[in-house]
Each structure stands twice: as C-alpha cells, then as structure tokens.
Amino acid sequence: MKVEHVPRLRNWGNYPSVPAEVTTVETALEAADFVRENETLIARGNGKCYGDAALGKTVLSTLQLRQILDFDPQNGMINCESGVLLHDILKRVVPFGWFFQVTPGIKNISVGGAIACDVHGKNHPTKGCFSEWLESFELLQSDGSIVHCSKTENKSLFWQTCGGMGWTGVILSARFQLMPIQSLDMRQYAVQAPNLEHLFQAFEQHQHWTYAAAWVDTLAQGAAFGRGVLYLAEHWEVPDEQPMQYPASPQKNVPFYAPSWILNPLSIRIHNAMLFSGAKTAEQKVNLDRYFYPLDRIENWNRMYGRRGFIQYQFCVPERQAFDGMVQILQTIRKSRDMPFLSVLKRHGERPESAINSFPTKGYSLALDFPRTKTIFELVAQLDEIVWQLGGKIYLAKDACSAPKMGRIDPKGFGDPKFSSLLRERISSGK
C-alpha cells in the first residue's frame, strides 16, 4: 500500500483540483482494510474523466489492481481486475481476434472507470453501453465485504453501479464479453454535410452503418450553419494475411501547457475549415486504432488548453427534440464569447429500462470542448436551461460545473454515503 499526498489532484480537464491523499492498493485485502479505516473515500482509476468525478480528499487508486485473471480466446470472455486499462486488454486479446463490443474514444481508461461511467461509443444504437456486455463484477462495500453482482445476482446493485460514478463501492474485478474481429482495419466513409439539416439527414440515411459520429462546425454561419462531417465505419471483413498484433500508437507529445491565447476565434475557425475541407469522402481503409482512438495518438493533448484547463459539456436530448435543440444550443454558443475547439455529434438508441444510471437516451448527444474562461460558467448555465427544457441530461463523467439536477441522478437515492466524490458532494448539496 502506497500513500501519496497530492497538493492538487486533477482529472483530464485540469479543472477543478483538490488537495488529496491518494492511497494505491495492490490487493483486494488492502482495499478492504482501507475502506474500513476511512470515513469517506472515492475510488479512482486512471483519472481520464474530465470533470470532478473521482476527486476527493481521500482517494483509493486501483491502478495496481491490473491483472488479467482469465481470458477465454475461444469464446471471447475476459475477467480482469478493475485497474486494468483498455489498452492493456487490447494488447492481450487482439492477436486472438477479439475487440470490445463497446469502446469510448480513448483507450487509456480503467475497466472500473468504464463501468462506473457506463461508457458508450459510436455504435450505441446497435450495441448500447458497456453494461450491455458486462456479465458480472466484484464490489467492495463499506463494511469491507465483497459481493458478486450480475444481471441475476444482486441485480439492483449491479445496475446502480453501472453509471453510478463510484458511489456504490469499489469495483475490484469484472467479467465481460468481447467481439470477434478479422482484421485490424476499418472500412470508413465520410459524408460532408453543408449544414445542420443535411447532417441530421445523413445520420438518418446511413443508419445501416454500425459506427457513426460527426464533427460539427459550431462557428459556421448563414447557409453553412451547423455544417459538419459524418464519419461512418464497419470492421474490415477480409481476414488479415499476417497475425494481428495490436499496434502501438506512434505518439506525438504536447510537452508543455500552451499559452491561453493559442485557442482563439481565428485559430479555431482555421481548424474548422481544415477539418471540413480535408474530409475524404471516398471510402477508405483506416487502421482500427486510428479510427477509435485518434486523441490517444497525441500524448498530453489536454495541455493544448493551457493551465486553466477545459470544460467539456456533453448532453443528450430526446430524438423528437434533437434538431431544434441543437439549433438552440449552437445559436446560444454563437452569441457568447466562448467557442468550442472540438465538437462531436452522435446518435443514440433505446436505453434498457434497467440501465437506470446510463447517460444515453434515444436521441442525439453533442460533446463540446471549451477552453476554461471567466465566462464559460455563464454559458454552461444557459446551455443547462435549454437542455433541461428539452427533457435532456448531461454526462456526469464529463461534468465540472453544470447544475446539480442535470445528470438526472439523485445520489441520495442510491449508493453508500461512504463513497463520496467532489461530484457527489456538489450534486447532493444542490450547488
């Protein structure tokens, strides 16, 4: 057991930060002792969520719980400890022809974090969230006992934990189903949409594609309002001639925090113009790692936003309200002083009734990365009000400053008060 006093502990967005005592455990027994000895704590994986989840004064790090306990290469079932990163799993399972059923846009997150946030990907309409393929997990409770949770055993606790942001206990290990693949390549097709209406039409017209996500130019005006590029993909169906070895991403690095003036209206407009004009609309073969994890190719990319960090605002609104809602959101941003550097639009399918804490609902979500400025909090408050009136919600894994009601999850209604993060305290207090 290793104890570290961290002057300012931050997540990937570099905001907010808190002084913390971080204890890294190496066994379930150490974790149980630590939980029994502390009045409050929160478990933390690799710290890749963006806001104030997994931040607190007393933190239990699971990163040394990193063993792959069992892998069945015939049936694609894997059992691993919660601190194992998705990247580590890929190195183990890809050579046998397996990949994740559902993966977020970064692979350097822990399995425990994937469950706590119930992550989703670009194939939500067909595959749902991570919990859809989760068979079971072992959960450490506040009294130091360990319970086995599945969709049939301790069912209520299972679903409270999926998307429950770590508030039910410490996930020690998990067992889940993988997906067979034949190649390390993807078949990708890009659709340039001259405005927001055409972008929504493109989503509808290409529903037969498994993977779909769009970049949106949030600064475009006039006839080009809401223009974007929809990226579609399928797994390459022709088996690779050579044995599949998961590629190590050729990484570039942002070695220092960029000056705050780097991301300004001019640089963002140039960036947007390049993204739109540079989209290759012909079908092409793309490496699996490049398609799913483009941000992981740049180490420390969060430093581009400077020391002040960034705020990601990700929300989902019901399908019937989605287009008009996106128009309102983009118009509100255009009237503000704040401009997002990145924006991703995704379509979502039905959410299982049992997945009570999962973020996506049938409709569309938009993720917006804003440099943190003095005025961004005022803009977030305006966006919150629009999303709320539309019947939408925000993603708690990305939240740093939204109104407490926006996740539509009441931490007083489930979980254990011992497991408390800065996020939970903020929501519980109503501030």
CA 23 vs. chain centroid, Å, equals 24
Model pLDDT for residues 91-100, shown as the tens digit of each residue: 999 999 999 9
DSSP string, 108-129: -SBHHHHHHTT---TTHHHH--
Query: Which band of pLDDT confidence, cut at 50, 70 and 90, is reported for residue 242?
Result: confident
CATH value at residue 393 = 3.30.70.2520
| CA distance linking residue 17 with residue 372, whole number of Å | 13
**Nearest residue to 346 (alpha-carbon basis) of 331, 332, 359:** 359
pLDDT value of position 430: 84
Please, what sign has the CA dihedral across residues 242, 243, 246, 251? negative
Model pLDDT for residues 374-385, shown as the tens digit of each residue: 999 999 999 999
Q: What percent of the chain has pLDDT over 70?
A: 100
pLDDT value of position 192: 96
Please, what sign has the CA dihedral across residues 54, 55, 57, 62? positive
Query: Which band of pLDDT confidence, cut at 50, 70 and 90, is reported for residue 421?
Result: very high
Residue 134 inside a domain? The answer is: no
Q: Are 95 and 243 in contact (CB under 8 A)?
A: yes
**Token code pair at residue 135:** 């068979």
pLDDT value of position 362: 97
pLDDT value of position 63: 98
Residue range 336-359: average pLDDT? 96
Considering its fold, how many domains does the chain have in total?
A: 1
CA 423 vs. chain centroid, Å, equals 16
Residue 381 inside a domain? The answer is: yes
**Token code pair at residue 86:** 């998705």
Choose the most confident range, by mean pLDDT, from 22-26, 287-291, 299-303.
22-26
CA distances from 238 to 122, 158, 242, 428 (A): 22, 38, 12, 52
Q: What number of CA atoms fall less than 13 Å from residue 352's CA on the CB side? A: 16
**Token code pair at residue 232:** 């579609």
Q: What number of CA atoms fall less than 13 Å from residue 386's CA on the CB side? A: 23
pLDDT value of position 47: 96
| CA distance linking residue 416 with residue 141, whole number of Å | 8
| CA distance linking residue 57 with residue 424, whole number of Å | 13
Residue 60 inside a domain? The answer is: no
pTM value > 0.75: yes
Alpha helical stretches, state H, 213-311: 265-277, 288-292
Question: H or E segment at 337?
Answer: none
Model pLDDT for residues 164-207, shown as the tens digit of each residue: 999 999 999 999 999 999 999 999 999 999 999 999 999 999 99
Tell me the residue type at 384: D
Residue 249 inside a domain? The answer is: yes
Residue 42 inside a domain? The answer is: no
Give the mean pLDDT of the chain: 95
**Is the pLDDT assigned to residue 234 strictly greater than 90?**
yes
Higher pLDDT, 297 or 37: 37
Residue 339 inside a domain? The answer is: yes
Residue 116 inside a domain? The answer is: no
pLDDT value of position 240: 87
Query: Which band of pLDDT confidence, cut at 50, 70 and 90, is reported for residue 350?
Result: very high
Query: Which band of pLDDT confidence, cut at 50, 70 and 90, is reported for residue 251?
Result: confident
Ranges assigned E (strand) in 11-83: 17-24, 42-44, 58-61, 68-72, 77-81
* Residue 319 belongs to domain spanning: 185-405
pLDDT value of position 216: 97
Higher pLDDT, 233 or 265: 233
Residue 222 inside a domain? The answer is: yes
pLDDT value of position 243: 87
In terms of phi and psi (left: phi > 0; alpha: psi -120 to 50; beta: otherwise), the region of 150 is: beta
**Nearest residue to 180 (alpha-carbon basis) of 273, 75, 92, 90:** 75
**Nearest residue to 36 (alpha-carbon basis) of 139, 143, 138:** 143
CA 185 vs. chain centroid, Å, equals 23
Residue range 143-154: average pLDDT? 98
Model pLDDT for residues 97-120, shown as the tens digit of each residue: 999 999 999 999 999 999 999 999
Residue with tokens 């949106």: 216
Model pLDDT for residues 386-415, shown as the tens digit of each residue: 999 999 999 999 999 999 999 999 998 899
